[in-house]
Amino acid sequence: MPAPTYEEIRLAPKVLLHDHLDGGLRPATIIELADAVGHPLPSTDAGELGGWFARAADSGSLERYLETFTHTVAVTQTAEALHRVAVECALDLAADGVVYAEVRFAPEQHLERDLALPGVVEAVLAGFAEGSRQAAVAGTPIRVGTLLTAMRHAARSMEIAELAVRYRDSGVVGFDIAGAEAGYPPTRHLDAFEYLQRENFHFTIHAGEAFGLPSIWQAIQWCGADRLGHGVRIVDDIDPVTGKLGRLAAYVRDKRIPLELCPSSNVQTGAAPSVAEHPIGLLRDLRFRVTVNTDNRLMSRTSMTREMALLVEAFGYGWGELQWFTVNAMKSAFIPFDERLTLINEVIKPAYVKLLG
């Protein structure tokens, strides 16, 4: 069977669990929003600005990669701006063939002007709802769930966890912590995770990206994470020659803990040398619960289609593997089980049956 083409992959239903709202702005929108608030940018040409983000993020270090967010955060400090970027996010994902997405952002980073936390969340939720409505009209239906992120170097995680629970019936489906990993272990936020567990709520933790096994171990065994944001460094617990799993890797695989892998992002931050050498190949062969994600579409100049196309090129994957990634992601979503099943049985499987011929 011929390899899936870029356009065929774009049309196939895809599921995205790890995408940052403030890492996916359209360059043209950043320019307009920056102009309105007088924020200086490295370029006011959309093409050049897109190139600048990709080059600046291509730094080999997570800390420097994260510096590029200064601009996207600076221009999203009003309800109007947040609403607009959320609408555009839903539309861009839908046009890329994403049928279900969980998009995350950190409300505490949008309080520089006159917004308070509830206003930030409400603007984004309304934007996703409006974007999803427009996408359905355009014939590309998408469902978007929101994850609220707390910044791991800050001290607002409990407040953000409470905020997430408060909006759980309005579109917030989970919680996350993000930001520089080295020096900021997940256990700093243990009270927030324990609170969320008592509330029967879902959360993922960025772990095993810029820091290794201790971070993953804490995220799972101390904090009780449902999924791992990246988690790519779990390979440090796998013998490269024999493929034998250490105790932590075995636990992650046995418990079917989803890995939110983000190939292009990992290459930019130095977590993987190249897409072809990305541990996703090994982790898939060993049948970990692998999912494919974009992380930051702006900084990586990428999309779900492009991430999958890169994997097709690097590992020779066909529709069977792409379906497996997609179903893995849908099974691992934070929406209720019956709703996940409906998307798998009514949207994903029928499309892949045709693609698999």
Ligand X SMILES: O=c1[nH]cnc2c1ncn2[C@@H]1O[C@H](CO)[C@@H](O)[C@H]1O
Binding-site residue total for ligand X (CB under 6 A)? Answer: 19
Alpha helices in the chain (DSSP H): 6-11, 27-37, 46-57, 62-67, 69-74, 79-95, 117-137, 157-166, 190-198, 213-217, 247-254, 263-269, 280-285, 304-315, 319-331, 337-343, 349-356
Q: Phi and psi (nearest 5°) for 113? A: -105, -115
CA angle 188, 193, 195 (to 5 degrees): 120
The pair of three-digit structure tokens given for residue 311, joined into one six-digit string? 């994997």
Q: Is 209 a catalytic residue?
A: yes
The yes or no reply on residue 17 touching ligand X (CB under 6 A) is no
Residue among 181, 209, 260, 321 flagged as catalytic? 209
At closest approach, how far in Å is the CB of 154 from ligand X?
A: 11
Judged by beta carbon, residue 62 or residue 75, the one nearer Zn ion is 62
For binding to Zn ion (CB under 5 A), which residues are involved? 295
CB 278 within 8 A of CB 314: yes
Token reading at 289: 């619960």
- Contact between 23 and ligand X by CB under 6 A: the answer reads yes
Q: Which of 16, 94, 142, 178 binds ligand X (CB under 6 A)?
A: 178
Out of ligand X, Zn ion, none, which partner does residue 202 contact, by CB within 5 to 8 A per kind? none
Closer to Zn ion at the Cβ: 27 or 229?
A: 229
Nearer to Zn ion, 58 or 295 (CB): 295
Chain residue at closest Cβ approach to Zn ion: 295
Binding to ligand X by residue 260, rule CB under 6 A? Answer: no
Please give, one letter per residue, the 3-state secondary structure of 227-256: EEEECHHHHHHECCCCCCECHHHHHHHHCC
Q: Which does 149 bind (CB under 5 to 8 A by kind): ligand X, Zn ion, none?
A: ligand X
> Min. distance of Cβ 109 from Zn ion in angstroms?
14
Asked whether position 295 contacts ligand X by CB under 6 A, the answer is yes
Least distance to Zn ion, CB of residue 197, Å? 22
189 known member of a binding site? no
**Does residue 278 have a known ligand-binding role?**
no
Distance CA 25, CA 61 (A): 21
Torsion of Cα atoms, 239 then 243 then 247 then 250, to 10°: 150
For binding to ligand X (CB under 6 A), which residues are involved? Answer: 20, 22-23, 62, 66, 69, 73, 104-106, 109, 149, 178-179, 206, 209, 265, 295-296
* Residues annotated as part of the active site: 209
